[in-house]
Amino acid sequence: MKTRIISAVLSLCALAAPVAAQNIRIGEINSYKAQAAFLDPYKRGMDLAIDEINQAGGVGGRKLEVVTRDDNADPGEAVRMAEELVSAEKVDLLAGGFLSNIGLALGDFAKQRKIVYLASEPLTNKLVWENGNRYTFRLRPSTYMQAAMLAREAVKLQKKRWALIYPNYEYGQSAAATFKALMKKLQPDVEFVAEQATPLGKIDAGAVAQALADAKPDAIFNVLFGGDLAKFVREGTTRGLFKTIPVVSLLTGEPEYLDPLKAEAPVGWIVTGYPWYGIETPEHKAFLDAYQKKYSDYPRNGSLVGYMTIKAIAAAIGKAGGVETEKLVGAFSGLEFDSPYGKIMFRPQDHQSTMGAYVGKTDVKDGKGVMVDFAYRPGADFQPSDEEVKKLRPAE
């Protein structure tokens, strides 16, 4: 029995034959089932970009092809999928990742196996700083960058007593820590009167809203998202928490998190997000039209990230003139490419892209949550100084 199973396994693997050599193969790993709300649109964004590029003749005459794998939200599985993509599927580079721990595991894998990895979504600062490496690049603005965008708005409120609420894991902790550090620098008299770190996905919203109110803060910084955010918004609204207290909130303006709230979306929160309905730049209009034409649906933030991931990779391959790893590393470093957000660059000093985010206020229109009074904040403006980055990043 044992032999039979193993031989069956071996023959199965042998079946995964090498595919047409002329295609450029991108291995893409993500938590598709576990984070479907973000990643379904993400995959559509990728597919759209692939179509556009291949219809235009591919890159250097070669077509692009994406091989996706579900990592089951487990870093161990993600690494195995990466091994499989590299050895069995012979992909030329890796992309993807949603959860920070998976992004870090894949980044380290890329370093070990010397293959380029473009982390599209994981937000952790460590990916480009403490654990940054030669082969790993990241597209989305990091936790630090987004918190910095909001800190600059928060200072304008001139509130002294702040309460913080964040999901109890690295993303929440580092967002809160960044926000605190920046606030202290920008507004030395700031006080942090309450901190609630809630278990991810299991917030006890009533008690938390109550505890925040009891601390009598002047303003609240929120890092919750998804189901936790919905619970918190509803409880906080019912309990009158937001009536007089302004809220500054990370990611809340992204359709993934704002849309499920429908008419109950909070009003007047200062948020980062993606107001696809109001971005008037020609680059974005083109993307929006193409996306709506293909899918008869509006893009989510995931769609944009997926689309830009592929566009960035295509640009890098074009610049490198091939898929050889060392050439790709050189090409990505300092790569400028056109995106729905305009020209974006991968910084040579830390491999972080300068993709920014929109900062604005939430409102409810026609029974739906939207962002208003928003403006684009380019990622390049919200970085620590180059010296600081150099200190944070290990020497190569």
* Contacts to other proteins from residues 316-355, by CB under 8 A: none
Q: 249 has which bridge partners?
A: 222, 271
Please give the DSSP secondary-structure letter assigned to residue 212.
H
Give the nearest distance from C-beta 56 to other proteins in angstroms. Answer: 30
Size of the site for other proteins (CB under 8 A): 78
Q: What is the DSSP pairing of strand 342-345 with strand 219-222?
A: unpaired
CA proximity to 83, closest of 100, 62, 105: 105
Q: Which of 1, 20, 21, 395 binds other proteins (CB under 8 A)?
A: 1
Residues 151-190 close enough to bind other proteins by CB under 8 A = 168-171, 173
Among 262, 343, 365, 390, indicate the residue that binds other proteins (CB under 8 A). 262
Stretch that binds other proteins, among 34-42, 268-276, 311-319, 370-378 (CB under 8 A): 34-42
- Pick out residues in 189-228 that bind other proteins (CB under 8 A): 194-199, 201-202, 204-208, 210-211, 213-215, 226-227
252 belongs to the binding site for other proteins (CB under 8 A): no
| Residue 289 CB-density burial (10 A; 0-12 exposed, 13-18 middle, 19+ buried) | exposed
Contact between residue 251 and residue 230 where contact means Cβ atoms under 8 Å apart: no
Contact 29, 69 (CB under 8 A): yes
Q: Which is nearer to other proteins, 114 or 285 (CB)?
A: 114
List C-alpha distances in Å: 258 to 100, 224, 302: 22, 12, 13
What would the 3-class secondary structure string for 64-126 be? EEEEEEECCCCHHHHHHHHHHHHHCCCCCEEEECCCHHHHHHHHHHHHHHCCCEEECCCCCHH
> From residue 125 to residue 144, what is the string marking binding to other proteins with x (rule CB under 8 A)?
-x----x-------------
Taking the C-alpha atoms of residue 10 and residue 268, their distance in angstroms, rounded to an integer, is: 58
Between residue 96 and residue 125, which ones bind other proteins under the rule CB under 8 A?
100-101, 104-105, 107-109, 112, 124
Contact letters for other proteins, residues 47-76 (x by CB under 8 A): ----------------------xx-xxxxx
Contact between 380 and other proteins per CB under 8 A: no
**Nearest residue (CB) to other proteins, 54 versus 210:** 210
Residue 350 is encoded by which pair of tokens? 């830390």
Among 19, 36, 267, 286, binds other proteins (CB under 8 A): 36
